[in-house]
Amino acid sequence: MSTREIRVYKDLMGANEKWAGATRTLLSDQDVVMLNLIGSPGAGKTSLLEAMTPHLSKQARFAVLEGDIETTRDAERLDRLGVPVSQLLSGGACHLEARLVNQALTDFPLRDLDLVFVENVGNMVCPAEFDIGEKAKIAVLSITEGEDKPLKYPLLFREARAVVLTKTDLLPYLEFDLPACRRNIAQIDASLPVFEVSAMTGEGVPAFADWVINTPQTVL
Amino acid sequence: MHEFSICRDILAAALEEYRALDPAPKRLKAVRVVAGGMHQIIPEYLATAYGILSRDTPAAGSKLDLVIKPVTGRCRECGWEGEIVPPFFQCAACGALAIDLMQGRELYLDRLEVEDHEHERDQGL
């Protein structure tokens, strides 16, 4: 019996990276900035987009790619506000991959858009692993999840270019330690901007919407 | 759960390489993957995923070896270089929260181990 060892050195993200690169070229040719919203189920990603819509739609033309395992409920919520939205059903997969996103973008009239938000499948682990061709990943963390979450999911907070803390209207009712949460985020990346937002009251929403419009294309 | 997604890519890459081998080996014995610590792969979960996803493929019965590389970084303030233990991305020398990652994000198929057919000249001896 003879055994042979074959050296390969093959990047396992290679195929995904190729699609992500194609998407990046497509978007930059059309001057469109794509942001990838990542957070756990129920963090308030759809609510954040709903709350930003009145503010954003005055300043930019935007569309949303909704990633979900099942149902078109989130897409319907945004469609009611008149936001162009396309639903991606991952069919059980816990994240979106670059090829699916690239194909979904063909649904949008990119030349008439400034921004595309991708609402990734609710999950703080897998979506952080996969480049989908976005300009920046945005971590969405609700205060009901606890201030320790950045430390438990360091890859997401290392990959993200901004953090949105949602549901801040609940601060008086919870034992959430906001300064500790900010320290935990800084521990992973001290340069990350952190936005405190309540989709319910609207507090903090304009500040994040302004960042979205002004920052990613110039600074990131 | 991301172990299943990663494992699907591992298998696809390993089988593509395996099928391209000439002369065709008798069987695939082992697949070695190198992953940086940032991926937070749980070896037992990856092994389970590999066992399930490799069924009914030429990789069935082969072994998955996972080599995890530690996360290392360089301090932008003082130039210190060394191992980082996530989630604490802090310089061990000066304490600055200004670490650029050097290693820990990699994920690649490193090598295959295959068993070849006996050579003809060895037969009947």
Give residue-wise pLDDT tens across range B57-75: 999 999 999 999 999 999 9
Query: Which amino acid is residue A170, in one-letter code?
Result: L
Q: Give the model confidence (pLDDT) of A10-45 as tens digits.
A: 999 888 899 999 999 999 999 999 999 999 999 999
Of B2, B5, B111, the CB nearest to A5: B111
Tell me whether residue B19 is in a domain.
yes
Tell me what ipTM this predicted complex has.
0.83
**Site from A3, A8, A130, A147 to mutate, B interface, most B CB atoms within 10 angstroms:** A8
Count of the separate structural domains present in chain B: 1
Is B110–A9 a contact, with Cβ atoms under 8 angstroms apart? yes
Of B38, B88, B108, the CB nearest to A187: B88
Q: Examine residue B62 and state whether it is found in any structural domain, yes or no.
A: yes
The set of residues, in sequence order, having a beta carbon less than 8 Å from that of B60 and lying 6+ positions away, is B54
Beta carbons of A95 and B5 less than 8 Å apart: yes
- Kindly state whether residue B125 falls inside one of the protein's structural domains: no
pLDDT of residue A81 exceeding 70: yes
What are the sequence ranges of the domains in chain A? 14-213
* Residue range A159-171, pLDDT digits in tens: 999 999 999 999 9
Q: Which of B88, B97, B108 sits opposite A10 (nearest CB)?
A: B108
What does the pLDDT look like over B97-109, one tens digit per residue?
999 999 999 999 9
* CATH annotation of A14-213: 3.40.50.300
Domain assignment of residue B96, yes or no: no
Over residues A105-127, the pLDDT tens digits come to 988 999 999 999 999 999 998 89
Contact A10 B17 (CB under 8 A): yes
Cβ distance of A11 and B108 shorter than 8 Å: yes
In a domain, B85, yes or no: no
> What is the residue range of B53's domain?
2-71+104-117
B48 is a domain residue: yes
- For the domain that residue B47 is a member of, what is the CATH number? 3.30.2320.50
Planar angle of CA A70, A76, A79, nearest 5 degrees = 140
CA distances from A66 to A60, A73, A78, A103, B104 (A): 19, 10, 9, 13, 30
Q: Is residue B77 part of a domain?
A: no
Cβ neighbourhood burial of A111 (10 Å; 0-12, 13-18, 19+): exposed
Residue B110 counted as domain residue: yes
Question: The tokens 């129920």 sit on which residue?
Answer: A42
In the prediction, which pLDDT does A216 show? Answer: 78
Average pLDDT over residues A43-53: 97
